[in-house]
Structure 1
Amino acid sequence: MTEHQLGKWDLSELAKDPKSPAFQKQIQELEKQSKKFEKIKSKLDPKIPSEKFMNILHQVEEISEKMSMIGGYASLSYSSDTQSDEATSLMTKMSKLGSEISNKILFFDLWWKTQVDDKNAKRLMKNAGEVTEYLSHKRLFAKYALSEPEERIINTLDVTGVSALVKLYDKITNAYEYKMKIGNKTKKMTREELTNYVRSTNSKVRETAYKTILTKYTENKGVIGEIYQNIVLNWRDEGIEIRGYKSPISMRNIGNDVDDKTIESLLSVCRKNSPVFQKFFIQKAKMLKMKKLRRYDLYAPAAANIKEKNYSYNNSVKLVFESLGKFSETLEEFARKVFNENHIDSSVRQGKRDGAFCSTLTPKITPYVLVNFTGKSRDVFTLAHELGHAVHSQAAQDRSILVQDAPLPLAETASTFSELLLYDNLSDKISDNEKKIMLSEKIDDLYATILRQSFFTIFEVDAHEQIGKGTTVDEISKTYLKNLKEQFGNSVNLSEDFAIEWSCIPHFYHTPFYCYAYSFGNLLALSLFQRYKKEGEDFVPSYIEILAAGGSKKPEKLLLEHGFDIRSPKFWQEGFDYVREQVRTLSSLN
């Protein structure tokens, strides 16, 4: 039997040694190929024969795969040791190379979106097979595209306009220094360090941590509020006034390849189901021996008085394999490949980046997974989550690199589903006390990834409308507080200082309307899991086919083929039925 041990990954499949002539040769070949590709520009014609068109697409795939391997090697080396000068310099060099290569092949993308008439586009897509949806999604943007000189002006002005505003927000907020009293000492901290204290077992510490963050943002609300208003106005002016999108959120939906109706349906179901989590908060107050939770206590560990079990790495890996294997041997095999090929970096060490991720570079190469394993039950779930991503990629490994990745709203399906399989498997093997900890943490996570994110999006819809009509920072804060009151009902005591919390959420500044993708992905996985519970083994082939589609089909179309109508509220409700069941189970354990 294999004994799984903590360690580093092996990147030699991507590149042997960045200093070697072989690596330089890889780069030279890529540059040569992209230069050769540039010559196609003069020969492009909407009447091009479809064989010739497919040949160009294959060249795009080849260039993308080669760039992905070289760039992937650099970014993975850097992730495993961010303190290495060598890795840092290689990362910078490869980012520059990546940008040069994509600029060289960009003309083809623009030509396809704006220069090819509908009749010829239809003809060329007829034989495009799995990349048909990819090509038609690209053409969706043509409707909102401007002339080349206009696009160039927008791109140029973005650098000193909206991108500069986002950078400014990051620069200002990342420079904040927080001081907090811990015992008798006052410590200087970053926001990252301070955020750890909102999960403290001590209620006073939780309150102080939140107040320290919120006070800093309140003191600076004039500047960061002004930045937000201008970002929103830029989004509206460019998107609605100049490009002609229907609404601010429509721009994001089209980018995600989902219909407005699907997202409206998702958000309305989330809104309607806030009482499900309100019940949990009342429950959690009892577990914490409090009359009522304050907003400061939302992420308090509910089982502080129960000793948490530690998991060995070897057992954790086997548990994840077993959970996937009970569902499908194929998925277990995919997960095992990551370990058999030593594509996992699991040990905690100085200089390695924190957190966890799964990186898929090309369909031909088994994905790479990074985790920082310390033996907590949360780490076992993180392992299941990242291996879920790896399983998703491998299920779609026969796809073109252009469509292997699922669109953003589907990207969390397999990762969340894998966590659900693990929880299902574990809950038969652990004591009630351990189950109480695990279940409480799990519902905490479901709140943070589903309800909180959907209410973030509901706030953004309101804020964008409000700012479009002209408003003040204080009025935006009032809208946010109203949003929180609806979310928590009477289950949580809400203090006024949380009105400014919206200005602490970088997603609102960086990527408007991004947050619903979390709600979408997690609820989708829960709804699919509910189906699995009803249908048993019959559900397995359907699930694997959904993963195998990658990004080759529009989410609505793909899921409808398997009997799931994501435009209908009924589908999303199934996910909430699962959450309700978990809250009920927790209640029976208390």
Structure 2
Amino acid sequence: MRPMTLTARALPLQDRALPVRDANAGGGDDASPFGALPEWDLTDLYAAPDAPEMKRDLDWLEEACRSFAEDYEGKLADLGAEAFLDCVKRNERIDAIAGRIMSYAGLRYYQLTTAGDRVKFMSDMQDRITTFTTPLVFFTLELNRLPDDHLDGLFAENAELARYKPVFDRIRAMKPYQLSDELEKFLHDLGVVGDAWQKLFDETMAGLSFYVDGDEMGIESILTLFQDHDRDTREAAAREVARVMADNLRTFARVHNTQAKEKEVIDRWRGMPNAQTGRHLSNHVEPEVVEALRNAVVNAYPRLSHRYYELKRKWLGLDRMQVWDRNAPLPGGDQRAIGWEEAQETVLSAYAGFSPRMAEIAQPFFDKGWIDAAVKPGKAPGAFAHPTVTEVHPYVMLNYLGKPRDVMTLAHELGHGVHQVLAAGQGEMLSSTPLTLAETASVFGEMLTFRALLAKAETQAERKTMLAAKVEDMINTVVRQIAFYDFECKLHEARRGGELTPEDINAIWMSVQAESLGPAFDFMDGYETYWAYVPHFVHSPFYVYAYAFGDSLVNALYAVYEDQPAGFQDKYFDMLKAGGSKHHKELLAPFGLDATDPAFWDKGLSMIEGFIDELEAMEN
């Protein structure tokens, strides 16, 4: 998932509730200036909501959950190694079927979030699967009551069972925060209520209309105007976003207040020390590693964003930067719309330049209906790659508008797709990568595409434009996302003290924006509401630091690739194939990297500094 200009879509893998268009829907718009854009073909999941295979799988799932609980509840401690392996495999199969159903329901929904039948179908599937799987809550609870030496003995006895140890380690990391069996089942059932607030956010956002120069558009289209060459157009778009956000601010404040309070209550009952703890546990990353990353980035604000935006202010010929200038293209930059075929060729050729195998894995996404690219009314904003289940394949969603950043978004999401295809061999329980590592392949795919394009630059002016665009993307990925993380930390901490008014949340937002963007900027009235449309805050609290983690990690990886290219591709593919089967320390060791070393983050940030150094040198 990519941090778009100001927004991104984060979809928790465990929810499996994602978007799609019916297989028999019409094709892309041949009249589009970008060429015919692809749409999803979901038949590899199900042919239709009422397909017989859907009923078959729902019936199977209900019985499989019932019999699993009947066969194993209260008995895990008595299982031998072989019987325990059978138990794990049955659990894994349940996960695969439930994931397949929710992937189909979710993808249909996100492709047209305003369609009542799709909303109902997804909600119904969530309700049914939650009901079916409630009896399975005992599994992790009983697993966490087993002594360490008991599990170690089972692993020593059966090598195939031992392969699942990383899954058990992540489950058992929650052991200190586990509640009673009854309360855990209650929270499992109550999860659909929390999901309803996410759907309210999605449906409200998808239903918003914005008007610029008499044209009506959705959130994705108006955000694209922030990159328009005409400053008056950018200003009009920025003020219109502020107007619409202000008109809907009570709804968005209610969503954030409710979700933050729900999280505070659950965290308090679990005894978690702060709101971020759950995310760190799910990411399998130590809190001190995240804190080191956060501090390194914040300390680098003057060397990164402050310095770059001062350069950009001069390039634009402005006395002061306004928020609508942040993503403005440089004077003289390429204004043409980039066609879909050109975007495809650009990314695939860059991938092939790194390794033909990488391009071969990516090619079916274009050929087999695994990408949905067009911007349509009611479609969810942003972009993502959803892995579905390991026996099918991922699906990529874009909102393609022919901008250079859209090409980079394609490279980013295809990187996720390649990663997910390679990790599928680990199976359902081990393929899912923690968010901190899930961004590795996506950001690496962007870097490959950027480097390939930069190598073709024929003039210094062209090179300058490309370097500046890359620096802006990296600042959006690192600086902006850490500012988002600080915003969330402050918001959740403040919510513990009571209800937050929209003005309270606005003030928290502004407290991190000036610090991260720097002294070159003025902030228009209304910018304080821009927190309202960032979906990560609603769908996946504290997801955002994963982008900065991934970008800095990739910068360090790419430096290793440049210094020691021999054998790098094989090590890189081995890392992706590992999925969630290894800790980040183990994955990075073959490259001589260690994310627990505070100096690691400075190494990643130094690449951004180097690009800014080159841009400054061009001014002399």
1:341, 1:257 → 2: CA distance? 34
Please tell me whether the aligned partners of residues 356 and 386 of structure 1 are also in contact (alpha carbons under 8 angstroms).
yes
1:446-474 deviations in Å (ceiling 9; x for gaps): 22221011022223334444555679766
Which amino acid counterpart does residue 112 of structure 1 have in structure 2? L
Alignment partner, residue 425 of structure 1: 452
Which amino acid counterpart does residue 141 of structure 1 have in structure 2? M
Distance 1:506 1:44, change over 3 A: same
- 1:41 is the counterpart of 2:68: no
Deviation at 1:311, TM superposition (A): 4.0
Alignment partner, residue 178 of structure 2: 145
Distance 1:384 1:500, change over 3 A: closer
Return the match for 1:64 from 72, 91, 95: 95
Return the match for 1:117 from 143, 147, 168: 147
Alignment partner, residue 381 of structure 1: 408
- 1:449 is the counterpart of 2:477: yes
Deviation at 1:481, TM superposition (A): 3.5
Deviation at 1:137, TM superposition (A): 0.8
Please tell me whether the aligned partners of residues 202 and 380 of structure 2 are also in contact (alpha carbons under 8 angstroms).
no
Return the match for 1:132 from 165, 170, 174: 165
Deviation at 1:194, TM superposition (A): 4.7
Distance 1:88 1:426, change over 3 A: same
Return the match for 1:538 from 567, 570, 588: 567
Q: Quick check: 390-399 or 561-570, which moved more?
A: 561-570
Matches within 5 A, 1:229-244: 232=260, 235-239=263-267, 241-244=268-271
TM-score by structure 1 length? 0.84
Alignment partner, residue 461 of structure 1: 489
Alignment partner, residue 108 of structure 1: 139
Determine what percentage of the aligned residue pairs are the same residue: 27
Aligned-CA RMSD value: 3.8
Please tell me whether the aligned partners of residues 74 and 142 of structure 2 are also in contact (alpha carbons under 8 angstroms).
no
Aligned residue for 2:426, secondary structure, equals coil
1:216, 1:5 → 2: CA distance? 31
Deviation at 1:401, TM superposition (A): 0.9
- 1:271 is the counterpart of 2:298: yes
Which amino acid counterpart does residue 98 of structure 1 have in structure 2? I
Alignment partner, residue 369 of structure 1: 396
Q: Structure 1: 5+ residue runs without aligned partners?
A: none
2:83, 2:57 → 1: CA distance? 26
Deviation at 1:348, TM superposition (A): 6.4
Alignment partner, residue 55 of structure 1: 86
Deviation at 1:535, TM superposition (A): 1.6
Which amino acid counterpart does residue 149 of structure 2 have in structure 1? K
Q: Quick check: 22-31 or 424-433, which moved more?
A: 22-31
Please tell me whether the aligned partners of residues 113 and 203 of structure 2 are also in contact (alpha carbons under 8 angstroms).
no
TM-score by structure 2 length? 0.80
Deviation at 1:547, TM superposition (A): 1.0
Please tell me whether the aligned partners of residues 491 and 508 of structure 2 are also in contact (alpha carbons under 8 angstroms).
yes
Please tell me whether the aligned partners of residues 220 and 381 of structure 2 are also in contact (alpha carbons under 8 angstroms).
no
- 1:555 is the counterpart of 2:574: no
Deviation at 1:269, TM superposition (A): 0.8
Q: Quick check: 480-489 or 524-533, which moved more?
A: 480-489
Deviation at 1:256, TM superposition (A): 1.8
1:72-91 deviations in Å (ceiling 9; x for gaps): 34444556677888766655
- 1:257 is the counterpart of 2:284: yes
Distance 1:27 1:230, change over 3 A: closer
Aligned residue for 2:385, secondary structure, equals strand
Equivalent residue pairs, number = 579
1:93-123 deviations in Å (ceiling 9; x for gaps): 544443344334333233323x433332333
2:305, 2:347 → 1: CA distance? 28
1:166, 1:16 → 2: CA distance? 27
Distance 1:123 1:373, change over 3 A: same
Aligned residue for 1:116, secondary structure, equals coil
Return the match for 2:552 from 519, 523, 537: 523
1:386, 1:256 → 2: CA distance? 20
Deviation at 1:216, TM superposition (A): 6.5
Q: Quick check: 358-367 or 87-96, which moved more?
A: 87-96
2:468, 2:230 → 1: CA distance? 18
1:396-441 deviations in Å (ceiling 9; x for gaps): 2320211112111111110110111011111122444554444333
Deviation at 1:145, TM superposition (A): 1.1
Q: Quick check: 39-48 or 221-230, which moved more?
A: 221-230
Please tell me whether the aligned partners of residues 346 and 371 of structure 1 are also in contact (alpha carbons under 8 angstroms).
yes
Aligned residue for 2:473, secondary structure, equals helix
Alignment partner, residue 334 of structure 1: 361
Q: Higher relative contact order at CA 8 Å, sep ≥6: structure 1 or structure 2?
A: 2
Please tell me whether the aligned partners of residues 530 and 574 of structure 1 are also in contact (alpha carbons under 8 angstroms).
no
Alignment partner, residue 282 of structure 1: 310
Alignment partner, residue 420 of structure 2: 393
Please tell me whether the aligned partners of residues 564 and 571 of structure 1 are also in contact (alpha carbons under 8 angstroms).
yes
Q: Quick check: 513-522 or 210-219, which moved more?
A: 210-219
1:228, 1:81 → 2: CA distance? 23
Aligned residue for 2:76, secondary structure, equals coil
Matches within 5 A, 1:146-165: 146-152=179-185
Distance 1:502 1:26, change over 3 A: closer
Q: Quick check: 455-464 or 380-389, which moved more?
A: 455-464
Return the match for 1:201 from 215, 229, 238: 229
Please tell me whether the aligned partners of residues 47 and 120 of structure 1 are also in contact (alpha carbons under 8 angstroms).
no
Which amino acid counterpart does residue 140 of structure 2 have in structure 1? D
Alignment partner, residue 324 of structure 2: 296
Deviation at 1:188, TM superposition (A): 7.2
1:428, 1:135 → 2: CA distance? 46
Q: Structure 2: 5+ residue runs without aligned partners?
A: 1-34
1:361-392 deviations in Å (ceiling 9; x for gaps): 23333433344555443333222222211211
Aligned residue for 2:599, secondary structure, equals helix
Deviation at 1:68, TM superposition (A): 3.1
Deviation at 1:192, TM superposition (A): 5.3
Which amino acid counterpart does residue 450 of structure 1 have in structure 2? V
Return the match for 2:345 from 318, 322, 332: 318
Deviation at 1:36, TM superposition (A): 3.0
Q: Quick check: 262-271 or 8-17, which moved more?
A: 8-17
Name which one, 1 or 2, has greater alpha-carbon Rg: 1
1:579, 1:501 → 2: CA distance? 26
Please tell me whether the aligned partners of residues 453 and 518 of structure 1 are also in contact (alpha carbons under 8 angstroms).
yes
